[in-house]
Amino acid sequence: MLNITNAKLSFSGNNALSENEAMREIAYSMDLLIPGLYLWLPGILMRIGGDVPDDQPYKYPGKIHSRIGIALVLPGYKIFTSYQGTYDSFGEDLRKGFHYLSDLTSRF
């Protein structure tokens, strides 16, 4: 018997806050390999299975750096996904930091 829990389908019009939260839930679930089916397209976010991030003792910082993708996570830590990126949220900030450091060192 198929038992579907934690099914969530989001349509985001102009509500960027709810879209970011739904993408954070997908990133969290995929990062922790929580079984489920995940689909993200511009304006449509679907999560069947997975879980909501546990923000204690800190807020989960992960991020998906792709506008379109699909993933299937099966029990036993098997994942099939179109997403090949990282879940690090600081990637852009890290690149900015390197530019800042190179600017500083070029002055000496």
- Rounded distance, CA 42 to CA 16, Å? 11
Distance of CA 96 to the CA centre of its chain: 21
Tell me the C-alpha distance between 28 and 58, whole Å.
13
| This prediction's pTM | 0.71
Query: How far is Cα 84 from Cα 95, in angstroms, rounded to an integer?
Result: 19
Q: Where are the domains of the chain?
A: 8-106
74: left (phi over 0), alpha (psi -120 to 50) or beta: beta
Please state, in angstroms and rounded to a whole number, the distance separating the CA atoms of residues 38 and 35.
10
Q: What is the reported pLDDT for 16?
A: 63
Mean pLDDT of 59-81: 93
Integer Cα distance of 55 and 37 in angstroms:
22
On whether the CB atoms of residues 102 and 94 are closer than 8 A, the answer is no
Above 70 in pLDDT, residue 87?
yes
At residue 50, the pLDDT reads: 93
